[in-house]
Chains A and B, each alone.
Chain A
Amino acid sequence: KNEVEQSPQNLTAQEGEFITINCSYSVGISALHWLQQHPGGGIVSLFMLSSGKKKHGRLIATINIQEKHSSLHITASHPRDSAVYICAVIQGAQKLVFGQGTRLTINP
Protein backbone atom coordinates (compact mmCIF):
# COMPACT_ATOMS: atom_id res chain seq x y z
CA LYS A 1 0.00 0.00 0.00
CA ASN A 2 1.39 3.40 -0.95
CA GLU A 3 1.97 5.86 1.87
CA VAL A 4 0.04 8.46 -0.14
CA GLU A 5 -3.09 7.41 -1.98
CA GLN A 6 -4.96 9.58 -4.44
CA SER A 7 -8.46 9.06 -5.82
CA PRO A 8 -9.70 8.86 -8.39
CA GLN A 9 -6.79 7.87 -10.65
CA ASN A 10 -8.62 9.21 -13.68
CA LEU A 11 -11.46 11.69 -13.87
CA THR A 12 -13.35 12.95 -16.91
CA ALA A 13 -15.94 15.70 -16.58
CA GLN A 14 -17.79 18.30 -18.60
CA GLU A 15 -16.84 21.94 -18.63
CA GLY A 16 -18.40 23.78 -15.72
CA GLU A 17 -18.58 20.82 -13.36
CA PHE A 18 -17.31 20.95 -9.76
CA ILE A 19 -14.26 18.69 -9.39
CA THR A 20 -12.92 16.98 -6.27
CA ILE A 21 -9.65 15.08 -6.05
CA ASN A 22 -8.74 13.30 -2.83
CA CYS A 23 -5.46 12.49 -1.09
CA SER A 24 -5.06 10.22 1.94
CA TYR A 25 -1.85 9.50 3.78
CA SER A 26 -0.95 6.93 6.38
CA VAL A 27 1.53 8.65 8.73
CA GLY A 28 1.90 12.05 10.36
CA ILE A 29 3.05 14.88 8.13
CA SER A 30 4.33 18.42 8.55
CA ALA A 31 2.91 19.70 5.26
CA LEU A 32 1.09 18.68 2.11
CA HIS A 33 1.50 20.07 -1.39
CA TRP A 34 -0.83 19.97 -4.38
CA LEU A 35 1.00 20.06 -7.72
CA GLN A 36 -0.20 20.39 -11.33
CA GLN A 37 1.42 18.89 -14.42
CA HIS A 38 0.06 19.62 -17.90
CA PRO A 39 0.64 17.01 -20.62
CA GLY A 40 4.29 17.13 -21.66
CA GLY A 41 4.86 19.98 -19.23
CA GLY A 42 6.66 20.67 -16.00
CA ILE A 43 5.50 20.69 -12.40
CA VAL A 44 3.72 23.70 -10.90
CA SER A 45 3.08 24.00 -7.17
CA LEU A 46 -0.55 25.02 -6.52
CA PHE A 47 -0.83 24.93 -2.73
CA MET A 48 1.09 24.12 0.42
CA LEU A 49 -1.10 23.21 3.41
CA SER A 50 -0.40 22.34 7.02
CA SER A 51 -3.92 22.99 8.29
CA GLY A 52 -7.31 24.33 7.24
CA LYS A 53 -8.13 25.59 3.80
CA LYS A 54 -6.61 27.71 1.03
CA LYS A 55 -8.21 29.28 -2.04
CA HIS A 56 -6.67 30.61 -5.23
CA GLY A 57 -9.04 31.61 -7.98
CA ARG A 58 -11.20 28.61 -8.83
CA LEU A 59 -9.02 26.22 -6.85
CA ILE A 60 -9.65 25.32 -3.22
CA ALA A 61 -7.54 22.96 -1.10
CA THR A 62 -8.46 21.60 2.30
CA ILE A 63 -6.72 19.38 4.79
CA ASN A 64 -7.92 17.44 7.83
CA ILE A 65 -4.88 16.51 9.89
CA GLN A 66 -6.81 14.23 12.28
CA GLU A 67 -8.29 12.21 9.41
CA LYS A 68 -5.05 12.34 7.36
CA HIS A 69 -6.92 13.53 4.31
CA SER A 70 -6.78 16.42 1.86
CA SER A 71 -8.99 17.45 -1.03
CA LEU A 72 -8.44 19.66 -4.05
CA HIS A 73 -11.56 21.24 -5.51
CA ILE A 74 -11.97 23.01 -8.83
CA THR A 75 -15.06 25.14 -9.33
CA ALA A 76 -16.46 25.95 -12.78
CA SER A 77 -13.97 23.58 -14.42
CA HIS A 78 -12.53 24.48 -17.82
CA PRO A 79 -10.71 22.43 -20.47
CA ARG A 80 -7.48 24.24 -19.56
CA ASP A 81 -7.71 22.58 -16.13
CA SER A 82 -6.99 19.25 -17.84
CA ALA A 83 -3.77 18.02 -16.26
CA VAL A 84 -2.35 15.54 -13.78
CA TYR A 85 -2.79 16.67 -10.17
CA ILE A 86 -0.29 15.29 -7.67
CA CYS A 87 -0.39 15.25 -3.89
CA ALA A 88 2.98 15.32 -2.08
CA VAL A 89 3.56 15.12 1.67
CA ILE A 90 6.50 15.95 3.91
CA GLN A 91 6.96 13.34 6.61
CA GLY A 92 9.25 13.54 9.60
CA ALA A 93 12.84 14.46 8.84
CA GLN A 94 12.43 15.88 5.33
CA LYS A 95 10.98 12.76 3.72
CA LEU A 96 9.04 13.81 0.60
CA VAL A 97 6.49 11.30 -0.68
CA PHE A 98 4.28 11.67 -3.77
CA GLY A 99 0.91 10.23 -4.62
CA GLN A 100 0.42 8.50 -7.96
CA GLY A 101 -1.44 11.46 -9.43
CA THR A 102 -4.96 12.01 -10.75
CA ARG A 103 -5.40 12.53 -14.48
CA LEU A 104 -8.18 15.09 -15.02
CA THR A 105 -9.81 15.64 -18.40
CA ILE A 106 -12.37 18.40 -18.84
CA ASN A 107 -14.38 18.17 -22.05
CA PRO A 108 -15.86 21.29 -23.65
Chain B
Amino acid sequence: DGGITQSPKYLFRKEGQNVTLSCEQNLNHDAMYWYRQDPGQGLRLIYYSQIVNDFQKGDIAEGYSVSREKKESFPLTVTSAQKNPTAFYLCASIRDGASEAFFGQGTRLTVV
Protein backbone atom coordinates (compact mmCIF):
# COMPACT_ATOMS: atom_id res chain seq x y z
CA ASP B 1 0.00 0.00 0.00
CA GLY B 2 1.20 3.50 -0.81
CA GLY B 3 1.71 6.05 1.88
CA ILE B 4 4.03 8.32 3.80
CA THR B 5 6.34 6.97 6.47
CA GLN B 6 7.82 9.17 9.12
CA SER B 7 10.38 7.79 11.48
CA PRO B 8 10.87 7.59 14.30
CA LYS B 9 7.54 8.28 16.02
CA TYR B 10 9.28 9.54 19.19
CA LEU B 11 12.78 11.00 19.31
CA PHE B 12 14.88 12.30 22.17
CA ARG B 13 18.02 14.35 21.72
CA LYS B 14 20.40 16.33 23.88
CA GLU B 15 20.47 20.07 23.49
CA GLY B 16 23.01 21.25 20.93
CA GLN B 17 22.84 18.14 18.75
CA ASN B 18 21.58 18.16 15.18
CA VAL B 19 18.86 15.62 14.48
CA THR B 20 17.38 14.43 11.18
CA LEU B 21 13.75 13.39 10.82
CA SER B 22 12.90 11.00 8.03
CA CYS B 23 9.99 11.30 5.60
CA GLU B 24 9.58 8.76 2.81
CA GLN B 25 6.70 8.32 0.36
CA ASN B 26 6.03 5.70 -2.29
CA LEU B 27 3.14 7.58 -3.87
CA ASN B 28 5.16 9.20 -6.68
CA HIS B 29 4.15 12.60 -5.31
CA ASP B 30 5.96 15.71 -6.46
CA ALA B 31 5.19 18.07 -3.58
CA MET B 32 6.31 17.36 -0.03
CA TYR B 33 5.97 19.48 3.09
CA TRP B 34 7.24 19.76 6.66
CA TYR B 35 5.16 21.33 9.42
CA ARG B 36 5.77 21.99 13.09
CA GLN B 37 3.14 21.92 15.86
CA ASP B 38 3.70 23.29 19.36
CA PRO B 39 1.45 22.21 22.25
CA GLY B 40 -2.00 23.72 21.89
CA GLN B 41 -1.04 25.42 18.62
CA GLY B 42 -1.74 24.90 14.93
CA LEU B 43 0.58 23.46 12.28
CA ARG B 44 3.11 25.87 10.79
CA LEU B 45 5.00 25.39 7.52
CA ILE B 46 8.77 24.89 7.83
CA TYR B 47 9.86 23.92 4.32
CA TYR B 48 8.31 22.54 1.16
CA SER B 49 9.55 21.04 -2.08
CA GLN B 50 7.63 20.82 -5.34
CA ILE B 51 10.30 19.04 -7.36
CA VAL B 52 13.49 17.08 -6.86
CA ASN B 53 16.56 19.21 -6.03
CA ASP B 54 14.43 22.24 -5.24
CA PHE B 55 12.84 23.43 -2.00
CA GLN B 56 11.44 26.62 -0.53
CA LYS B 57 11.34 28.12 2.96
CA GLY B 58 8.05 28.25 4.77
CA ASP B 59 7.02 30.54 7.59
CA ILE B 60 9.41 29.22 10.24
CA ALA B 61 12.48 27.87 8.38
CA GLU B 62 15.14 29.33 10.70
CA GLY B 63 17.14 26.60 12.43
CA TYR B 64 16.04 23.90 9.98
CA SER B 65 17.46 22.46 6.77
CA VAL B 66 16.12 20.04 4.18
CA SER B 67 17.20 18.17 1.07
CA ARG B 68 15.31 16.62 -1.84
CA GLU B 69 17.78 14.40 -3.66
CA LYS B 70 15.15 11.81 -4.49
CA LYS B 71 11.44 12.17 -5.22
CA GLU B 72 10.60 9.68 -2.48
CA SER B 73 12.52 11.32 0.34
CA PHE B 74 12.41 14.72 2.07
CA PRO B 75 14.44 14.60 5.30
CA LEU B 76 14.33 17.48 7.77
CA THR B 77 17.35 18.37 9.90
CA VAL B 78 16.74 20.25 13.12
CA THR B 79 19.98 22.08 13.75
CA SER B 80 21.46 23.38 16.98
CA ALA B 81 20.49 26.87 15.79
CA GLN B 82 16.80 26.06 16.37
CA LYS B 83 16.08 27.68 19.74
CA ASN B 84 13.07 25.58 20.76
CA PRO B 85 13.18 22.31 18.84
CA THR B 86 10.85 20.32 21.09
CA ALA B 87 7.66 19.92 19.05
CA PHE B 88 5.55 17.60 16.91
CA TYR B 89 6.73 17.43 13.27
CA LEU B 90 4.42 16.41 10.41
CA CYS B 91 5.33 15.49 6.84
CA ALA B 92 2.76 15.66 4.02
CA SER B 93 2.70 15.18 0.25
CA ILE B 94 0.49 16.04 -2.71
CA ARG B 95 0.59 14.59 -6.23
CA ASP B 96 1.04 17.14 -8.99
CA GLY B 97 -2.32 18.18 -10.37
CA ALA B 98 -4.23 16.14 -7.82
CA SER B 99 -6.46 17.33 -5.03
CA GLU B 100 -5.64 14.86 -2.31
CA ALA B 101 -2.97 15.20 0.34
CA PHE B 102 -1.38 12.38 2.29
CA PHE B 103 -0.05 12.78 5.81
CA GLY B 104 2.60 11.02 7.83
CA GLN B 105 1.89 9.99 11.41
CA GLY B 106 4.30 12.59 12.71
CA THR B 107 7.46 12.60 14.83
CA ARG B 108 7.41 13.91 18.39
CA LEU B 109 10.85 15.39 19.12
CA THR B 110 11.94 16.13 22.67
CA VAL B 111 15.21 17.92 23.30
CA VAL B 112 16.57 17.67 26.83
B92 at the interface (CB under 8 A from A): yes
Residues of A within 8 A of B30 (CB): 94
Residues of B within 8 A of A50 (CB): 99
How many residues on B have C-beta within 8 angstroms of the other chain's C-beta atoms? 23
Q: Are A31's CB and B99's CB within 8 A? A: yes
> Taking chain B's interface residues, is the majority helix, strand, or loop, or is none over half, making it mixed?
strand
Among A27-74, those with CB < 8 Å from B are 30-31, 33, 35, 40, 42-45, 48, 50
How many residues on A have C-beta within 8 angstroms of the other chain's C-beta atoms? 21
Q: Are A96's CB and B101's CB within 8 A? A: yes
Q: Are B106's CB and A98's CB within 8 A? A: no
Binding site for A on B (CB under 8 A): 9, 30-31, 33, 35, 41-43, 45, 50, 90, 92, 94, 96, 99-106, 108
Residues of B within 8 A of A90 (CB): 94, 99-101
> Taking chain A's interface residues, is the majority helix, strand, or loop, or is none over half, making it mixed?
strand
- For the complex of A and B, the 3 pairs showing the least CB-CB separation, nearest first, are A42-B105, A31-B99, A30-B99
Residues of A within 8 A of B9 (CB): 42
Q: How far is the CA of A88 from the CA of B99 in the complex (A)?
A: 12
Q: How far is the CA of A101 from the CA of B94 in the complex (A)?
A: 21
Question: Which of B31, B42, B50, B90 is in CB contact (< 8 Å) with A43?
Answer: B90
